[in-house]
Amino acid sequence: MARPCLSKLDTWGNYEHRVMDVCAVALNLLCREDGLSSEEVDINRKLYFLIHRARKVLHAKNMGLPSPPFFDANNCPDADDEERATREGTRPDLTFAFYDDQEADPDRSAKFFVVECKRLGLPSGSWVFNKNYIRQGVNRFIKPECGYGKSAKSGAMIGYIQSMRPPDILAEVNKEGEQNELPMIGLSGTWSEDGVSHLEQSLTRSQILPKSFHLHHIWADLRRRTARN
């Protein structure tokens, strides 16, 4: 069998697929954890270790990742920025990185798949989760001062469902998205009770390249797993 032409291999697409698989397996493991903290930072930390376990499972099937993600780390410099940019002071929850050896310019060979995590459900005091999923989550992939996913074709949002029915959450999230002039987030497949559901969104970014950006959404149903702190 002829070997594939390296120039035609989709290195980003292959890495994106692996990241999404690892995240899905890790989130399914998260959905089996009892007594989870309700705090986002604690859930993120738990997820970080579950990513290691998921990677080991998938590595045995030649589907894992070559390295662990950065956790709560600053955005890395981008080759298009001649000096330190504001975005370098912002911190995505998870950043998956690899070297693309097909990239001709070594300054652009480091590639980053960014994942941002947010809680979903009923508000907690003045913090309205479903609105802030857009305001403090999706918008970070669009606003240049945050610049999540700059120079990347895609990224992901992880949603931790702590209360409310998922379809009702999606309706509220999309209502906020519409008010921010964002395309609708659409369910891919069906809702998974006590499991992981996949959603998709295609964004156009006027001030960040590439302008066409695909945002994956992975929502984990933790309603029966979260301790009432």
In tens, the pLDDT along 160-208 reads 999 999 999 999 999 999 999 999 999 999 999 899 999 999 999 999 9
Say if residues 119 and 160 touch (Cβ distance below 8 Å): yes
- The helix/strand/coil state of 65 is coil
Confidence band for 115, pLDDT divided at 50, 70 and 90: very high
pLDDT at 8 over 80: no
* Beta pairing, strands 94-99 & 154-161: unpaired
CA distance 65 to 164: 34
Helix (H) or strand (E) holding 110: strand 110-120
Confidence band for 10, pLDDT divided at 50, 70 and 90: confident
Which tokens hold the place of 37? 């903290």
Which tokens hold the place of 75? 């955005």
* Beta pairing, strands 70-71 & 186-188: unpaired
* Average predicted confidence (pLDDT) for the chain: 93
pLDDT at 151 over 60: yes
Q: Which residues contact 72 (CB under 8 A, 6 or more apart)?
A: 44, 91, 92, 93
Would residue 54 be called left, alpha or beta, if left means φ above 0 and alpha means ψ between -120 and 50 degrees? alpha
Q: Give the predicted TM-score (pTM) of the model.
A: 0.93
The distance of Cα 46 from the centroid of its chain, to the nearest Å, equals 16
Q: Kindly state the percentage of the chain with pLDDT values over 90.
A: 90
Measured between its terminal Cα atoms, the distance across the chain in Å is 58
The DSSP letter of residue 226 is B
- The helix/strand/coil state of 122 is coil
Where do the structural domains in the chain lie, given as residue ranges?
9-221
pLDDT at 56 over 90: yes
